[in-house]
Amino acid sequence: MTVVTRDAVTPAAFGVPETESQRSTKTPAMAAVDLVEEFPRKTKEPVRALQPLTDRGSREGARAMTMDAEFYSRVAERFGGYFSDARSTDVFADGRPDAVFDELVTALGAPHARLLDVGCADGRSLLRISRAYGAVIGIDLSPSMLECAERFRAESGLEHVTFELCDAARTGLPDGYVAVVTSRRGPLIAHEFERVLRPGGAVVYMGIGEQDARELKETFGRGQNFDSWNSRPLSEGIAQELSDAGLVVTRNQTFHFEEFYHSAGDLDTFLQQVPIVDNYDPAADKEAFDRYVAAVTVDQGVRLSRHWFIVQAQKPAAVEPSPS
């Protein structure tokens, strides 16, 4: 069991920006970036408008991602990035999912490898693991989050990382271009991920499980993946999508953990910074919020039960033709 106390979080708490000594010392992966061909686009150029989608399913998916982008843009503009000021003590019975995710992605890295991160938000999590790769690109649909990401990247001195306003359903990258695709509680576009992966490459996806914050959502009568707790596990659906796209699922790991917020005010702050409860409003939702706090407050704090998962899949390696 792992216990972690989170005080008010600042960007520096995540390892960005780095110290002067870190900035002046390049790892082999960073030094190798000169040997890796440039990505087709650089986010330092003016951001281009996204082209309209013609496929109906893609349009519906794009609308959902756009709504998420609007939420994250509001968070970035108000709080300066995607990090929480809320204080909590977190108890992990199954390991820390973010730490496991970082370990998996870092282990897949190589000096010449390219990484595509989908739904990168303010980029801090991506910057934390980027030294394991020769070239890294993060994409998101929130311009405000990407502005934060570029600021953190500039402060870190990591020149081999770029950020771009881009739809995950149509990245524009060449077939087989990257070694790894990651999505940390972001979108999953399985067929596009498979297309841009080189043979033998991997997808690492972190998602929110169907039991996540269930008691909170039941109290509010709405929330992320509301009323999905009696259906098929969401991780199985993700694994099936990846499998249907031609990838081989190699990991499906579930994490249940508890967050104990130090006060009702800390939980209130947290709910304003994450999309757990749709359109959370401290004034309009006060009655439901107070009922929840009264029901779950224990000696450790205000309890929030979490459920996340990680699914990893691999693209089959290319088959060498047999000699004639």
Helix (H, G, I), strand (E, B), or coil: what is residue 157?
coil
Residue 11 per-residue DSSP state: G
Is residue 131 within 8 Å of 33, Cβ to Cβ?
Answer: no
Q: Can you list the domains of the chain with their CATH numbers?
A: 2-256+273-314 (3.40.50.150)
Q: Give 150-156's long-range contacts (Cβ < 8 A, gap of 24+).
A: 150/43, 150/44, 150/123, 152/11, 152/16, 152/17, 152/81, 152/122, 152/123, 152/124, 152/127, 153/123, 153/127, 155/16, 155/17, 155/18, 156/16, 156/17, 156/18, 156/23, 156/127
- At 84, the pLDDT band (50, 70, 90 cuts) reads low
Q: What is the pLDDT of residues 269-303, one digit of tens each?
A: 999 988 899 999 999 999 999 999 999 999 999 99
Q: Containing H/E element for 206? A: strand 197-208
- At 71, the pLDDT band (50, 70, 90 cuts) reads low
Report the DSSP beta bridge partners of residue 218: none
Answer whether 0.85 is exceeded by the pTM. no
The alpha carbons of the chain give a radius of gyration, in whole angstroms, of: 20
- At 249, the pLDDT band (50, 70, 90 cuts) reads very high
- CA separation, residue 259 to residues 2, 87, 234, 303 (Å): 12, 10, 21, 6
Least confident span in 198-202, 227-231, 261-265: 227-231
Q: Containing H/E element for 307? A: strand 301-314
Q: Containing H/E element for 66? A: helix 56-79
- Percent helix, strand, coil in the chain, to 5, is 35, 25, 40
Cα torsion angle, 235, 237, 238, 244, sign: positive
- What CA–CA distance (Å, rounded) separates 116 from 183? 9
Q: Containing H/E element for 42? A: none
Q: What percent of the chain has pLDDT over 90?
A: 68
Q: What is the pLDDT of residues 132-191, one digit of tens each?
A: 999 999 999 989 889 999 999 999 999 999 999 999 999 999 999 999 999 999 999 999
Cα torsion angle, 291, 296, 300, 301, sign: negative
- What CA–CA distance (Å, rounded) separates 90 from 84? 14
- What CA–CA distance (Å, rounded) separates 152 from 29? 19
Neighbouring CB atoms inside 10 A of 138's CB total: 29
Q: What is the pLDDT of residues 252-273, one digit of tens each?
A: 999 999 999 999 999 999 999 8
